[in-house]
Chains A and B, each alone.
Chain A
């Protein structure tokens, strides 16, 4: 079955880059997502990447995908205090109409002033 894993905590100094990592199970056809959740709020979709891509960049966010190692990372450049949140990696496995969206445990990002 699908399994998505993340480290639970990450602390980064303001202005530095944050790199949040995720590993996922083997799937031939998969979308991989990064979501941000602030305290008491729902999940905000940050970005996503299809499994046939290696990299996607969107302003301060860079997603890198290593298909061989089944490893996904999210890099946040110039980390700000507003980036403090829990970041979830999620995997969507495509099938014959039975797609299931599976989440990792979430990584709590703390910004050090």
Chain B
């Protein structure tokens, strides 16, 4: 059973608003990832972190930013939301080691109007 949670599940917000998507995991995983996925489409890596105070940009350019102040949390922030940010955002975590399983949260479906 995966202990990784994303909030909110659904969010509809107006253009220009600042939003933060939360991702938390209680498994002590050091690696965390944010993916952006349009409906029925492939996942694109937008941010990842190897541990506390580590953040890296992914393969797909994104106007969002992330932080990793604590192992458990990896929030994603959009300073000024636009309709082009409408998408599903998926968070994942894993612990590298002998048995490496990557788990996903349920996702946040963001709609910017």
Q: How many angstroms between the C-alpha atoms of A94 and B96 in the bound complex?
A: 8
Q: Which of B73-113 contact A (CB under 8 A)?
A: 90, 92, 94, 96, 100-107, 109
Question: In the bound complex, do residue A99 and residue B107 qualify as a contact, i.e. CB atoms below 8 Å apart?
Answer: no
Q: How many angstroms between the C-alpha atoms of A92 and B2 in the bound complex?
A: 18
Question: In the bound complex, do residue A42 and residue B101 qualify as a contact, i.e. CB atoms below 8 Å apart?
Answer: no
Question: In the bound complex, do residue A102 and residue B45 qualify as a contact, i.e. CB atoms below 8 Å apart?
Answer: yes
Interface string of A95-106 (1 = CB under 8 A from B): 001111111111
Instruction: Say what secondary structure dominates the interface of chain A.
Output: strand
Chain B residues near A102: list those with CB within 8 A. Answer: 45, 59
Question: In the bound complex, do residue B48 and residue A100 qualify as a contact, i.e. CB atoms below 8 Å apart?
Answer: yes
Q: How many residues of B contact A (CB 8 A)?
A: 26
Partner of A31, one of B92, B100, B106: B100
Q: How many angstroms between the C-alpha atoms of A33 and B33 in the bound complex?
A: 15
Q: How many angstroms between the C-alpha atoms of A57 and B103 in the bound complex?
A: 20
Q: Does A44 reach chain B (CB closer than 8 Å)?
A: yes
Given A33-B102, A40-B109, A45-B103, decide whether A101 and B42 contact each other with a Cβ distance below 8 A.
no
Q: How many angstroms between the C-alpha atoms of A31 and B99 in the bound complex?
A: 9
- Distance (whole angstroms) from the CB of B25 to the closest CB of chain A: 13
Interface string of A7-50 (1 = CB under 8 A from B): 00000000000000000000000010101000011111100100
- Distance (whole angstroms) from the CB of A109 to the closest CB of chain B: 13
Question: In the bound complex, do residue B105 and residue A103 qualify as a contact, i.e. CB atoms below 8 Å apart?
Answer: no
Q: Does B68 reach chain A (CB closer than 8 Å)?
A: no
- Distance (whole angstroms) from the CB of A46 to the closest CB of chain B: 11
Chain B residues near A105: list those with CB within 8 A. Answer: 41-42
Residue in B closest to A35 when the chains form the complex, CB atoms: B104
A interface, CB within 8 angstroms of B: 31, 33, 35, 40-45, 48, 86, 88, 90, 92, 94, 97-106, 108
Top-6 shortest CB links A-B: A43-B104, A42-B106, A42-B107, A105-B42, A103-B43, A42-B104
| Residue contacts A-B, CB under 8 angstroms, 25 given | A35-B104, A41-B106, A42-B106, A43-B43, A43-B92, A45-B2, A45-B104, A48-B100, A86-B40, A88-B42, A88-B43, A90-B102, A94-B100, A99-B31, A99-B50, A99-B94, A99-B96, A101-B92, A101-B94, A102-B59, A103-B35, A103-B45, A104-B42, A105-B41, A108-B40
